[in-house]
Structure 1
Amino acid sequence: MRIMAFDYGVKRIGVAVTDPLQLIATALTTVHPEDIWTFLGDYLQQEAVETFVVGQPLQLDGTASESAPHVIGFVRKLKKTFPTIAVVEVDERFTSKMAASVIAQSGKGKKKRQEKGLVDTVSATIILQSYLETKSFF
């Protein structure tokens, strides 16, 4: 069974998944928030997902950011729509900056590095990778 992670944004949701053995996090796609439910329905018909990991948008001081209400609504609908799949929320502070850094180090051209969708999928991958690392300690 796979684990799927989301970097939720009001314009785009970055999506990443693990391999079936839950060892490697891989960027999957970027989906518009209106299309995420159709996307998930289709994906879950093809692949088994055990856990959804959602990045929690927090300020530096640990308080909720202005996008937090959107994420709370997304998490609530995930739990209601897919009640058999666990939902875990993780701190996503710095993931966008880390994603931009990873993309820059990858040698991609400036135009590619500025693609917001790429940053979102890499952010989702970083969220998932950090979840996998903390999970391996327990």
Structure 2
Amino acid sequence: MSTRTRSSQVGASTSVRNEVNVWPTDAIERTIIEQDIRVVDVHFNKALDLMMIVLNTRDVLRVPLSTYPSLAKATEAQRGKWDVLGNGYGVHWPAIDEHLSLKGFLRDSMMSEFLHQWSVKGRGASIRRKTRTKA
């Protein structure tokens, strides 16, 4: 990962990431830091294949539970016992030794939303094409 140093005033570097004095070039990491985003709660609905990650911003990330096979296979009790890692930058499920990052949750949530929107648009275009050929 390439990074650059960020300073708030001439000649003084400011630590943006905990103990490392670098500024991330990755857009997701930069957003997490700039907007001070943290995980505060996690909920599951296995019947709906849904994992919901609640953020300190009051936003809720929705990701298919099947995206994370070890969590999907875990019991409700195992999924219910989790710890926040790194001041909200990740989540750990000790019973199944699963560690997931906020960056990964954001990436997976965005990808899931994109694929949903793309499939909805794709179906709509195909329906319109069929309608046009009949007319």
Superposition TM-score, scaled by structure 2 size: 0.28
Superposition TM-score, scaled by structure 1 size: 0.27
